[in-house]
Amino acid sequence: MKTKKTLQHIAAVAVVLLTLCLVFAAPVSADVITVSYDSMKSATDNGKTFHNAVKGAVTGDTIVLPEGEYYLTNGDTCRITTDKTLTIVGAGAGKTIITGERYGLVIDNTNPESESVITLKNFTLRAPGSVLYIKSYANVSVEDVVVDNQDTNAILLDSASINYGLGDAASSNVDTVVTVKNVLINTGGKINFVATPCTSCPGVIVPSYTHFYILEGCNFDKGNCFPQDNLNLGGDNLFVNDEILNPASVKVGEEGYSTLEAAVNAATTGDTITLLKDVEVDTGILIEKSLTITSDAGQKYSITNDNAVTGNEGAAIVVNKDDITLKLDNIIVNADHYAVRIWNDSTVQITNSEISGWSALYFKEGSDGAEVTVSKSTLVGTNNQANPASNDFGTIVFEDSNVTVAVTDSVVKAVATTAANQSIVVFSSYFGPNSYDKVTFTGGELVLDKGSSASVFVDTAENAQHDSVVIGEGVTANFNPSAYIAGGMEVVQPGDKYLVQKYVDRSSSSSSSSSTTEPETPEEPVEPETPVEPETPTDEPVAGEPTVETEVTDGGEVTFDTPAEP
């Protein structure tokens, strides 16, 4: 794949001739001038047809097409031969309109040694067939133009015709370079390259040639196709710059960007950035304004950084400013080290997303006061580090104070693939003692993977009295979470997992009883005796205490009595 810089360098040696069929002089107003093939050679009121303007121009001239609509009424290709460097400019894509019956503009150079350049700017090209048909050696630049056609070849670069008519002549300057910049390609067709040389042309020796096609900042309007779906690359000598083979990855509003970093830099506070496909980053994307990052409708795309950690390398998203709100919705964030790294007092809201790394959420020094909510998402922390003692870590890691995390209806998993320890939550004193951090879990699931090499929650001695983990109703776990359950909750084990639920009073009570006596006569029944009141238990269980069905110890194992047969 050639880079844009290389392509532009190669373009400097290209050669060009232009074949056109237009009238030059049109009124400044939006008058329509219909030009027939015969009238091409006729003088207009100012004595200049487009044919004559091109013929009389010298290298470096600019031909201006004022506002108006220009018709190519002949049914075949119109060719005007020139070896000059020319600029042909209109009054704007919505003002100067060139319409062809069959083709639009046709470039057909019969002098391959010429070093001319044609620049086409600021008009609309319309035709049922190819609106730009390049049949020869050419360096053509098309800028700020609307290309509008219905055929399969909106822009056609036809190498089969390049050497036609040369006979046995050798050619040293045979590169063909086409640059299309800021063009709206409004077509149901394709950008089409015909890569087979005209080997059947009598007496033609086909020299070595190369074709380059450069597109920058172009939009494809019809069919909702990605640009690569609109490209027909027919041979090994055809190159398209990376921006078109890898079109916009993200958009801000309706504006597309090739990288997430470019989109974030261009966005303003409150904007929504939409992922159009999976993206990779080499360093953490710095978030310094309130933004929403989401996926295109019906999709869930990913942001991935596979680099090892060096500064912000190894991170995917880095929140780096106080008092902003970052919303991550319906996306996947993967990082070799830190998926979401938070340095400041900020708010992060995560919904319907998957966040994974060595740490999914990492609160660094400076994050005092940060608030994070996680809903209907998955957080995974995987420890695959080689040095166990120095690389113990967690899925959610705190290195500052007063940080709150509320996790609802989500899966939080700690995985250890080596002897290093991986915890679900770590309150770290890496930057000194911190305190009053709090994590709450409601609904969802907590998972420790790889048995004894993973742990539940880790706190240092300096923090133990103030940091807290609270597990609420509806949380399931593959370990006993009883030491961390909220008040009014209990742990039961309905299957192979533990479940936190509201406390159920299971105290024993005497069942109510009553007795009757037989009536002395059938006609006069005896009133029944007053039912016996149930005995009042002497020791009423309180919420959180173990029950007959569930024995709970502080952080220990849970055992269950086998119920008696009925």
* Class of the CATH-defined domain 250-500: mainly beta
Contact between residue 97 and residue 70 where contact means Cβ atoms under 8 Å apart = yes
Contact between residue 470 and residue 486 where contact means Cβ atoms under 8 Å apart = yes
Domain residue extents for the chain: 4-245, 250-500
Q: How far is CA 27 from CA 50, 95, 145, in A?
A: 14, 12, 21
- For the four alpha carbons of 42, 44, 50 and 54, in that order, the dihedral sign comes to positive
- The model's pTM is 0.54
**Stretch (H or E) spanning 90:** strand 86-90
The arithmetic mean of pLDDT across residues 12-40, rounded, is 36
Strand order in the sheet with 219-220: 32-35, 68-72, 96-100, 124-127, 146-149, 184-187, 219-220
Cα–Cα dist 307/304, whole Å: 9
**Stretch (H or E) spanning 470:** strand 468-471
What average pLDDT is seen over the chain?
A: 69
Q: What is the pLDDT of residues 326-341, one digit of tens each?
A: 999 999 999 988 999 9
- 539-542 long-range contacts, CB within 8 A, separation 24+: 540/507, 541/505, 541/506, 541/507
Q: Report the pLDDT value the prediction gives residue 143, as an integer from 0 to 100.
A: 79
Q: What is the pLDDT of residues 503-529, one digit of tens each?
A: 998 886 544 444 433 333 333 433 434
List the single range of 26-30, 104-108, 211-215, 434-438 with lowest mean pLDDT.
26-30
Residue corresponding to tokens 């290298």: 59
Strand partners, 486: none
- Tell me the percentage of the chain whose pLDDT exceeds 70: 53
Cα–Cα dist 459/437, whole Å: 11
Q: Report the pLDDT value the prediction gives residue 235, as an integer from 0 to 100.
A: 40
Q: Which residue has the higher pLDDT, 307 or 199?
A: 307
SS3 state of residue 7: helix
Q: What is the pLDDT of residues 278-311, one digit of tens each?
A: 999 988 999 999 999 999 888 999 999 988 766 5
Distance of CA 367 to the CA centre of its chain: 27
Residue corresponding to tokens 């670069």: 157
Q: Report the pLDDT value the prediction gives residue 125, as an integer from 0 to 100.
A: 80
Q: Which residue has the higher pLDDT, 157 or 224?
A: 157
- Picking from 362, 426, 365, the residue whose alpha carbon sits closest to that of residue 392 is 426
